[in-house]
Every structure is written in structure tokens, then in C-alpha cells.
Amino acid sequence: MTAVYFAWLSAPDLVLTQLLVEVVTTLMILLVLYYLPRELPGREPTRRVALDASIAGAAGVGIALLSYAVMQRPLASISAYHVLNSVGLAGGNNVVNVILVDYRGYDTLGEIAVLAIAALGVVAIVRSGRRAT
């Protein structure tokens, strides 16, 4: 539905990205479920469960405190810079397109590289998981 909404808003790049992310995520979940053991292992000792729970709780509290500290910083927006300089420096009237193409071009290239590496990882996992019959 998110991809349909993006298509309705005339954003084909977001539609393709959304669909690619959904497909890769679904494939990864299916691969994980396929390789799970059929039987559950024995029960973990109570001491191990308590240790794991305390580590997870400490990590959660740490991330919550870090998030709170980051959100307390004053917000400094750079939107005025982009609006003022989109025509003069980049030669474009559409500020959003200028930001995506000129200012964030390397970021978009990095995102494409990450998606390509994830796709190669999925292919490698699928090929290594084939069973001889």
C-alpha cells in the first residue's frame, strides 16, 4: 500500500525503492524461516536467560538515553540554504530535485551500492543453501 501511495503521489523512484526493499526483506525472512531447526532446542538455564535479559535491558536503556540526549539538542535547519541556492548554484527551480540530484547525489549512489550488495548477499545465500538430491 505504501508503494501504491507513492505512485499516486507521482514518485516512481520511491515506488521502486519501496518494492525492492519489501521484496528483499521478504526473501530474507523466508530464508531465515527455511533454515530454522525443525525442533526446538532444550530449555536454557535460568541464569543464562537472566544474563541475556539484563544485557538486552541495559542496551535498551542506553539507546533510549542516547536518543533522548540527541533530541534535546537545538534544531538547526539548513532548508533556507537550499531554497536560496537551488537556482544560483545548481540551476534548478525545483528544490526537491536539486537536493536529490546535486546535493545528495553521492548519498543516493551509496544507497544504490548498499542495495546491490544486499542483492548479491541474497544470491550468495540462496546458492549456498541448495541441497543435493
For 30-85, write each residue's pLDDT tens digit: 988 888 877 777 788 889 999 999 999 999 999 999 999 999 998 888 888 888 88
Is the pTM higher than 0.75? The answer reads no
Give residue 20's pLDDT. Answer: 87
In the predicted model, what is the mean pLDDT of residues 88-108? 79
Whole-number pLDDT of residue 78: 84
Question: Residue 36 — left, alpha, or beta (φ > 0 → left; ψ -120 to 50 → alpha)?
Answer: beta
Evaluate if residue 89 carries a pLDDT over 90: no
C-alpha to C-alpha distance for 8 and 2, rounded to whole angstroms: 10
- The CA distance from 95 to 74, in Å, is 25
The predicted structure's pLDDT at residue 131? 56
Cell of 57: 535491558
Q: What is the pLDDT of residue 132?
A: 52
Question: Phi/psi zone of residue 74: left (φ > 0), alpha (ψ -120 to 50 degrees), beta?
Answer: beta
Round the average pLDDT of the chain to a whole number and report it.
85
